[in-house]
Amino acid sequence: MINDCKINSFENEDDAKNLLLESRNRIDEIDNELFDLILQRTSLAVDIALAKDYLGLPIYDKSREDAIHIKIKKFCEENDMDIEIVDHIVDMLTILNKNVQNEILRRNADG
């Protein structure tokens, strides 16, 4: 993906400024989409926590996390992305979900 990017040459300063502005605006739009997806992903943690609690399963599921990391590695290799950074991002999302799950279980235990 990144290696497929072509290098633009600009005819003038305005072209470079316009591309910079357009790119930054698109990044802002993508960030908003990412935040919405993170909210959606995190809201599923509630369902997962309740199901795990009912089934007597722990919050941490090593096999699930291993499968996710395998998927990340494949994705990064196919798209020429830095696996350490993407892995870190997913780790942060996983921690966020585990924190929500733990909070849900704590609330259920407290009544």
Residue 37 burial (CB count, 10 A):
11
Cα dihedral 95→99→102→103 (10° resolution): -170
Q: What digits encode the pLDDT tens for the residues 26-42?
A: 999 999 999 999 999 99
Q: What percent of the chain has pLDDT over 90?
A: 83
**φ and ψ at residue 32, rounded to 5 degrees:** -60, -40
Does position 20 have pLDDT exceeding 90, yes or no? yes
pTM of the model: 0.80
The predicted pLDDT at position 110 comes to: 84
Query: Residue 9: which pLDDT band, with cuts at 50, 70 and 90?
Result: confident
